[in-house]
Structure 1
Amino acid sequence: MIQLQKPLPIAFLFLPLLKLMAESLLFSSAESLLGKLASAALQEASLAFGVNRDLELMKETMTFIRGVLLDAEKKNSQSSALKEWLIQVKCVFSDAEDIVDDFECEALRKHTVNTYGSCSRKVCRFFSSSNPVVYRLRMAHHIQDINIRLTKLASQRSMFSLQIIDQDTRVVHVREMTHSHVNPSNVIGREHDKQEIIKLLVQGDHGQSLSIIPIVGMGGLGKTTLAKLVFNDPIIHACFPLRMWVCVTNEFELRNVLIKILNSVPNPTRENFNNFEIEQLQILLRNTLEGYKSLLVLDDVWNEDPARWDELREIIDIGVEGSKILVTTRSQKVAAIMHTKSSKSYLLGCLSEKDSLSLFMKYAFEDGDEMKHPQLLKIGKEIVKKCGGLPLAVKTVGSSLFLMVDEREWESVRDNEIWNLKQNVKGILPALKLSYDQLPSYLKPCFASLSLYQKDIYFYSSQVCMLWGGLGFLPPPKASESMANVATQLLHELWSRSFLSEYEDFGGDCRFKLHDLVFDLAIYIAKGEFDIIHPNPNLYKNAHHLLFMNDNLLDQALLPSSLRIFIFTGGPSNENFLNTLVSRCKFLRILILDWSEYVSLPRFIGKLKHLRFLSLWNNENLMEVPDSVCKLQNLQTLNLEGCIKLQKLPKGLANLVSLRYLGITTIEPTFPEKEVASLTSLEDLRFCRCDNLESLFKGIQLHTLKGLSLQDCKSLKMVSFHAIKNLEVLVIAQCNKLELSMGLSNEILDSRLKLLILRGLPSLATLPRWLQGSANSLQSLVIEECMNLEELPDWLPTLNCLQQLVVRYCPNLLSLPDNIHHVTNLKVINVTGSSELWKRYRPRVGQDWHKISHVNLVCYDESENEKEFS
């Protein structure tokens, strides 16, 4: 469900304990950098500055080094010398990336001058650069220095006997091959899941000869154990005369899979199939299956190639009605490829806290001994909560505490991350690491960066898009795509591989959580590059990414000049330090100064030409942002929301040619609309506490804008909705004077709106008719704290794409439309705080429950957690 509280600033989502990117991400960095070196834009810039030969040499040497990185990362723990070599490779690659980005900045500067300079000398002066000859010589010197370092590192690689692996096709065979036996007494909390899957297996198939049922879930949930329970159940024995168990793991080569299946069939002659050709194997397998209703379990499937699966299915499907294949996989994509129309995937959930505790006691205590140690049991309950319902985590932690009776040992486990426990190959970290190792290179840094967020919070694709954009992780969008679309696609891929939980797509934005153990994995992967500041300066002198709570803790002289991310989470502000930061750290990509007390920013901030993300959220003392900010052509995110004393916006916003997100709070009565209208990359525009603004968007068009948020703008009366043709997300909150008809009267627009949030609008009595224009696009409609809302219109069912309807804290809304049952795609209705609606539509007992019985009804009880009812 949507959290309808005000969104937190991104800085508040960052952890107070940050770790660094380990060498395991070095191959991904190399891939990204080599891609930039091969780009047409960089080739053109290198020719213009006469350094193309030097850059070509850099690319060749980097390619040479990249070839052994995967092998080096595998052997890293075996040699301190190799570890040091990888650290040096990482440093030189980082410096090379700064050089490449510098060329990109220069190319963008020239483009801006060429675009605007012909009509304005001021623009030329505004973007004046240092002497081109001096710049060329300086860059050539830097490139030559990097090439010398690269050549030395390349010559040293022979010292470590490294193999060349050009493709990131790492396959980790840590997991043991599985088998079909399991002791049911060792399994707790899966009886319901077992019965549900048995039902799916034994039910009729409507004439279909073969159906597939995937069990899907993250590593450590017990998918294999559950499949074993089902496989050995007497009902399954009676229903399927022929049963086969195959552990597929990372292999899906047809010949090997056929051999494994044949080896799983009772074979009195113990024939060796390894010498058979594929044609012989498929004939033998089809003859074996003929006439038998069979169950085949394919455990731990990773293959995402539909062609390979179709090839196997054609051999297995011999026309025996009722035959089934049960698949276990961590990938939603695998499940989508394999399941048939008559079947559906079974999404395996976590254990309840009660079952988790029972499982924990089984592994942590001798039978009955838990009653002898009530204090240990109390601590154990807290440990179990941290395991998040994952059976493998519960068993691993419980086993590590077996026969220990010292309370301090238990408290140490409770207060430490799970990977700090003594682990073996069966531990939770290796189980999750298997999933991580299957990620393609471009997803690995994206996943690792999620370690920046807090545990146990929802976060949104719009926030992640800004972060990944600032870090340079997002590939360029294709035609008609936005950067938000690109980020959402990457998030969806992570979700399909079970790395994200509670994933919900609202249209235009999505939200999700990280399971605690997945979050722990992200921190484990990311360690080495992100640091919190402590008084000991040695902890950050080589850091690239810093977060700290007090800028007085930093010794300015030791501030690393290579810093990429700097985050200050609020409190008294040291202006001298900020001046040093901006002047010294010229390679900053992300600068977050949320909740700080700065009155102004250094005027030379415009020299941070690499900066992509600048957030000043809720700087309530800030009175001025220098115009030089508009020199930052690489800037993608500029957040000035909550800067309530800001006298004026910086001049020259039109020059921010890369800007995608703009958040504004201003006391000015007007808004530089024409400048903003010229921003051809702008996707998300937010106004917050702009108390003197009365109207927006007269006489302009915002063709690229996908998201618009209007919050707490007390004087705003009119918004020209015509100006935003491609809007997908619209938020209107606490804008009491705003004319909700948007100047459209009863006109119905052909709109692309996917998500609409209306909050705190006392004038809202019913929905405006223009919303009908979103009939073929709107997925989520959220109405909150609209005290005078009395009805929802009868035309609501025309919103045929609507999946989620939220009407929270709307006490005067007494009923839903009588034809609400015609909203056939509706999945969830949330009536939190709307007591009359809850009474009327409460499941099974409400007088009108039958009208919405096809959806989940959600109501929030203040004394409990949010509940869902089906």
Structure 2
Amino acid sequence: MAESFLFSIAESLITKLASHAFQEASRVVGLYDHLRDLKKTLSLVKAVLLDADQKQEHNHELQEWLRQLKSVFYDAEDVLNEFECQTLRKQVLKAHGTIKDEMAQQIKDVSKRLDKVAADRHKFGLRIIDVDTRVVHRRDTSRMTHSRVSDSDVIGREHDKEKIIELLMQQNPNDDDKSLSVIPIVGIGGLGKTTLAQFVFNDKRIYECFSLKMWVCVSDDFDINQLIMKIINSANDANAPFRQQNLNMVDLEQLQNQLRSKLAGKKFLLVLDDVWNDDRVKWVELRNLIQEGVAGSKILVTTRIDSIASMMGTVTSHKLQRLSSENSLSLFVKWAFKEGEEQKHPHLVNIGKEIVKKCRGIPLAVRTLGSSLFSKFEANEWECVRDNEIWNLPQKKDDILPALKLSYDFLPSYLRQCFALFSLYPKDYEFRSFEVVRLWGALGVLASPRKNETLEDVVKQYLDELLSRSFLQDFIDCGTFYQFRIHDLVHDLAVFVTKEECLLVNSHIQNIPENIRHLSFAEYSCLGNSFTSKSVVVRTIMFPNGAEGGNVESLLNTCVSKFKLLRVLDLSYSTCKTLPRSIGKLKHLRYFSIENNRNIKRLPNSICKLQNLQLLSVRGCKKLKALPKALRKLISLRHLKITTKQPVLPYSEITNLITLAHLYIASSHNMESILGGVKFPALKTLYVVDCHSLKSLPLDVTNFPELETLFVVDCVNLDLELWKDDHEEQNPKLKLKYVAFWGLPQLVALPQWLQETANSLQTLFIKNCDNLEMLPEWLSTLTNLKALEISDCPKLISLPDNIHHLTALERLRIVGCPELCRKCQPHVGNYDNWCRRMKALLGSQDAWEIVEKDGHVTLSDLTRVTVDLTRVSDLTDDLASSLSCPTQLSSLLQSPLRYSPFRVDKHTP
């Protein structure tokens, strides 16, 4: 299936060869003619690739030709990357001489091979199709969280919803009976069990019936400790989630006590979504631990397996049926057309009826295929889907892979590689767009940003397109990053289409095929004896859940000696004490992380030979004495995340990193001042976290002309007012859009310089600022402010009277400010007037709330709180995970756990 990537690879190679920088470099070293000929042949082959991809399904000779072509393309890609590496190294080292002799033969060899394979294209009668017309037309789609779903997106499930709600609200026959009712929803994959549970979970009657609602995604890991932790986190007030430093060392008794305190005296609803465990002993153990609620507490379970539903349920399982033909067509039309548009195209609707029949009433298949045909009005495109022979392939019972594969075939070629890389992550993984940026960028599968665009902008566009095709779910637009999952059947599709390229290694895999280029290990123990790949073409080695406990010295030695083409090496949470000096030989490496390694004290200076490196992360390496010398040589670096014992950063080195866009400084406790007088012309985001000795943070617009996002967190001695803006009024102002101040006891009032951002600031978060007493009247001058959250500021006593002048405000959330909340009780002081003004400003009750520390809503006219700003915050990078459910960031940085409102994993991103 990897042959479907060829058009995209050819396009990227041609784009690279056509770039001004590449052509200039090739002229300098005398290779211009060679590379021009290579580009010409690539263009000839590219012209017929789209036709070849469509015709290969039943033509084995054509399939073989494409396989040969793929091999040559990848070799060409490696040769061009080698040329770039040599050029960059020559630029940094100012070496004399030429690299012509080193590269000319390699380019000649790959050109000769390509010419030979390309000559065979005439045998297949392939048409020339120069442009991939499978473009995506963006649509306005609803954003979903894990437990929310738009009612308008649910078709044909009203009857199911009412039956489930009736069971949930049913009182036990004996009011003193505290035994838990467990209601199972059972059905095949893709049928909409989770959607139905979401539909129920957010019904107003459920809010009124249950004082505590919890949502836990169980998936295939029924570990009792993990599940209790997830339940606790879901039950927690969003501002103080319970966390442990190492789940494997948590005392079960301690967890049980926490759980009891959360559930005691409350009538709760717990949703256990996607259960696969058939071990009754484990289920009974968990059930016994959650018997603390009052009478009427309920558990709602979703599962694919009847025997599990029977084992867990106390009532007859609700068996979810397939959608009727009528409802299937309604769902299909909803996703294939804009509202009312179908009336203009009755002939397409008739073809759609035949397509829908083949989806067999499975909503996921219906929705995905409908999305793939959105804004396509040529009958032949619809007929192609209807008549595709993939429907005739041997299928397992209830198999919907053919429907999903058809949707994949309709993806533009540039999206196919990106989508396929999702297969490197485990099922039910919670993705964040900033980690996707790093991986896709390092592997070179992104289009070059256009003028005034960044790679982050390109990734957002790609994810919007995948979302519009229904390949993503549980999607949250957080402003500067996206958070999402993919359905496990969509994950199966990603594995299917890239099985020759990507492999997620788990305990069941004994051998690694030779042709695998991207390797991901479910956990460090999976590396073990299975790591016997004979391949030398590996480009990715990663541990999406972290290489916790892994001593990776032998792996590193293998990488250096064997995997010389490696682009991505992520060894987060490993325990090695040293890195080999030979790591500098991995000249193709673009992404290297050893963050949260608690043993490493030094990095070899040879790491600065990696001129292609785009990301270097040593965040959380608390024993690291100093950064490597000669950082200035990392001229491609975009992301730098550091923890160091140095009292002063090597400014002369860092200031030379002119492409640096994201800088993260954490747990560097010896630094009293940072960044003074250093210019960062491209820096977009700055994180200063858990730096206890830090006293000042100068932010001069001259030095930070592009800075948009600022996080200052847990810097207990920092006085933000120590820096004063001495510039004239007419001088340029900071362009900050997103600002977070957390854990700053020195903060008594917002720093005056924040006024500079009046025309740019969109989101402001203030948390755990124990001495903050009031917000300034000039807050109302922040005319672009869309989101304001204030939490855990116990001395805050007032808000500006003119806060209603924030006419751009869309979200307001105030939590854990008891002095302020006392003044906001109904009918106290100016509360009613203030309330009316805020409602006039913000409108929907979903947009604002004021909450006491214990979680009680104090605004009497709010019937329910459905929007938690901490889930739709405008943040980027790693702090997003902590903002999703805010916590003391020092705890986050020390913890090998990863938390989000949807799941608890072992690792922060």
TM-score calculated relative to the size of structure 1: 0.65
Give CA deviations for 1:318-367 in whole Å, capped at 9, x if unaligned: xxxxxxxxxxxx6249xxxxxxxxxxxx9985339974845999xxxxxx
Shift of 1:529: 2.2
Q: Which amino acid aligns with 2:514?
A: K
Shift of 1:503: 6.4
93-102 vs 544-553, which deviates more?
544-553
Query: In structure 1, how many angstroms separate the alpha carbons of the residues matched to 2:605 and 2:105?
Result: 32
- With over 3 angstroms needed to count, the CA separation of the structure-2 counterparts of 1:531 and 1:522, relative to structure 1, is closer
- The answer to whether the 8 Å contact 1:432/1:518 transfers is no
- The equivalent position to 2:752 in structure 1, one of 749, 757, 769, is 769
Give CA deviations for 1:184-243 in whole Å, capped at 9, x if unaligned: xxxxxxxxxxxxxxxxxxxxxxxxxxxxxxxxxxxxxxxxxxxxxxxxxxxxxxxxxxxx
Query: In structure 2, how many angstroms separate the alpha carbons of the residues matched to 1:761 and 1:433?
Result: 49
Q: Which amino acid aligns with 1:753?
A: L
Q: Which amino acid aligns with 1:529?
A: E
Query: In structure 2, how many angstroms separate the alpha carbons of the residues matched to 1:360 and 1:384?
Result: 17
Q: Which amino acid aligns with 1:350?
A: D
- The equivalent position to 1:584 in structure 2, one of 539, 543, 562, is 562
**1:466 maps to what in 2?**
438
- The equivalent position to 2:519 in structure 1, one of 540, 543, 546, is 546
Query: In structure 2, how many angstroms separate the alpha carbons of the residues matched to 1:660 and 1:824?
Result: 36
**1:868 maps to what in 2?**
867
- With over 3 angstroms needed to count, the CA separation of the structure-2 counterparts of 1:406 and 1:630, relative to structure 1, is closer
Alignment map for 1:673-692 (pairs within 5 Å)? 673-692=651-670
777-786 vs 480-489, which deviates more?
480-489
Give CA deviations for 1:260-285 in whole Å, capped at 9, x if unaligned: xxxxxxxxxxxxxxxxxxxxxxxxxx
Answer yes or no: is 1:513 the counterpart of 2:484: yes
Shift of 1:689: 0.4
**1:99 maps to what in 2?**
79
**1:857 maps to what in 2?**
848
Q: Which amino acid aligns with 2:803?
A: I
Shift of 1:739: 1.3
Shift of 1:495: 5.8
Give CA deviations for 1:784-829 in whole Å, capped at 9, x if unaligned: 2223322221111100000000112333334432211110000001
3-state SS, counterpart of residue 831 of structure 1:
strand
- The answer to whether the 8 Å contact 1:592/1:616 transfers is yes
3-state SS, counterpart of residue 588 of structure 1:
coil
Answer yes or no: is 1:790 the counterpart of 2:741: no
Shift of 1:735: 0.3
Q: Which amino acid aligns with 1:512?
A: Q
3-state SS, counterpart of residue 600 of structure 1:
coil
- The answer to whether the 8 Å contact 1:356/1:384 transfers is no
- With over 3 angstroms needed to count, the CA separation of the structure-2 counterparts of 1:698 and 1:868, relative to structure 1, is closer
Shift of 1:110: 2.2
Q: Which amino acid aligns with 1:471?
A: L
Answer yes or no: is 1:157 the counterpart of 2:121: yes
3-state SS, counterpart of residue 512 of structure 1:
strand
Shift of 1:628: 0.8
Answer yes or no: is 1:817 the counterpart of 2:817: no
**1:222 maps to what in 2?**
none
Q: Which amino acid aligns with 1:139?
A: M
- With over 3 angstroms needed to count, the CA separation of the structure-2 counterparts of 1:538 and 1:148, relative to structure 1, is farther
- The answer to whether the 8 Å contact 1:386/1:516 transfers is no
**1:800 maps to what in 2?**
783
Q: Which amino acid aligns with 1:101?
A: N
Aligned-pair identity in percent equals: 39
- With over 3 angstroms needed to count, the CA separation of the structure-2 counterparts of 1:50 and 1:727, relative to structure 1, is closer
- With over 3 angstroms needed to count, the CA separation of the structure-2 counterparts of 1:542 and 1:455, relative to structure 1, is closer
Q: Which amino acid aligns with 1:750?
A: K
- With over 3 angstroms needed to count, the CA separation of the structure-2 counterparts of 1:838 and 1:868, relative to structure 1, is farther
Query: In structure 2, how many angstroms separate the alpha carbons of the residues matched to 1:611 and 1:787?
Result: 44
Give CA deviations for 1:754-785 in whole Å, capped at 9, x if unaligned: 00011111222321111111000000001122
3-state SS, counterpart of residue 757 of structure 1:
strand
Answer yes or no: is 1:662 the counterpart of 2:634: no
Query: In structure 1, how many angstroms separate the alpha carbons of the residues matched to 2:163 and 2:562?
Result: 52
Alignment map for 1:314-713 (pairs within 5 Å)? 331-332=139-140, 349-351=152-154, 355=158, 357=160, 378-380=185-187, 388=195, 407=306, 424=359, 427-428=365-366, 429-434=368-373, 440-450=412-422, 452=424, 459-477=431-449, 481-488=453-460, 490-491=462-463, 509-514=480-485, 516=487, 520=491, 526-534=498-506, 536=509, 538-548=511-521, 549-550=523-524, 552-553=527-528, 558-568=533-543, 569-570=546-547, 571-713=549-691
Q: Which amino acid aligns with 1:782?
A: F
Q: Which amino acid aligns with 1:868?
A: V
**1:198 maps to what in 2?**
none
3-state SS, counterpart of residue 65 of structure 1:
helix
- The answer to whether the 8 Å contact 1:533/1:553 transfers is no
704-713 vs 783-792, which deviates more?
783-792
Q: Which amino acid aligns with 1:531?
A: L
**1:108 maps to what in 2?**
88
Shift of 1:480: 5.4
3-state SS, counterpart of residue 758 of structure 1:
strand
Q: Which amino acid aligns with 2:505?
A: I
3-state SS, counterpart of residue 670 of structure 1:
coil
- The answer to whether the 8 Å contact 1:781/1:806 transfers is yes
Query: In structure 1, how many angstroms separate the alpha carbons of the residues matched to 2:428 and 2:822?
Result: 31
3-state SS, counterpart of residue 867 of structure 2:
strand
- The answer to whether the 8 Å contact 2:564/2:588 transfers is yes
Query: In structure 1, how many angstroms separate the alpha carbons of the residues matched to 2:357 and 2:669?
Result: 57
96-105 vs 67-76, which deviates more?
67-76
- With over 3 angstroms needed to count, the CA separation of the structure-2 counterparts of 1:578 and 1:89, relative to structure 1, is same
**1:263 maps to what in 2?**
none
Alignment map for 1:247-326 (pairs within 5 Å)? none
Shift of 1:717: 0.9
3-state SS, counterpart of residue 809 of structure 2:
coil
- The answer to whether the 8 Å contact 1:733/1:761 transfers is yes
- The equivalent position to 1:142 in structure 2, one of 106, 110, 132, is 106
- With over 3 angstroms needed to count, the CA separation of the structure-2 counterparts of 1:773 and 1:140, relative to structure 1, is same
Alignment map for 1:708-719 (pairs within 5 Å)? 708-719=686-697
Shift of 1:169: 1.3
Shift of 1:79: 3.2
- The equivalent position to 2:64 in structure 1, one of 74, 84, 89, is 84
Shift of 1:456: 6.2
Shift of 1:858: 4.6
- The answer to whether the 8 Å contact 2:647/2:672 transfers is yes
Shift of 1:588: 1.1
- With over 3 angstroms needed to count, the CA separation of the structure-2 counterparts of 1:766 and 1:352, relative to structure 1, is farther
Tell me, which stretches of 5 or more residues in structure 2 are unaligned?
A: 142-148, 165-180, 200-303, 311-318, 324-355, 375-407, 858-863, 870-909
Give CA deviations for 1:480-532 in whole Å, capped at 9, x if unaligned: 5544445445555656777666766666x233324637954655655542212
646-655 vs 484-493, which deviates more?
484-493
Shift of 1:702: 2.2
Tell me, which stretches of 5 or more residues in structure 1 are unaligned?
A: 1-20, 115-123, 172-301, 305-329, 334-345, 362-373, 393-404
Query: In structure 1, how many angstroms separate the alpha carbons of the residues matched to 2:159 and 2:610?
Result: 52
- With over 3 angstroms needed to count, the CA separation of the structure-2 counterparts of 1:29 and 1:757, relative to structure 1, is same
3-state SS, counterpart of residue 591 of structure 1:
strand
Query: Once superposed, what is the RMSD of the aligned Cα atoms?
Result: 4.3
Q: Which amino acid aligns with 2:118?
A: A
Q: Which amino acid aligns with 1:40?
A: H
- The answer to whether the 8 Å contact 1:687/1:709 transfers is yes
- The answer to whether the 8 Å contact 1:814/1:837 transfers is yes
Give CA deviations for 1:733-767 in whole Å, capped at 9, x if unaligned: 11001111141179888210000011111222321
Query: In structure 1, how many angstroms separate the alpha carbons of the residues matched to 2:409 and 2:850?
Result: 40
Alignment map for 1:49-68 (pairs within 5 Å)? 49-68=29-48
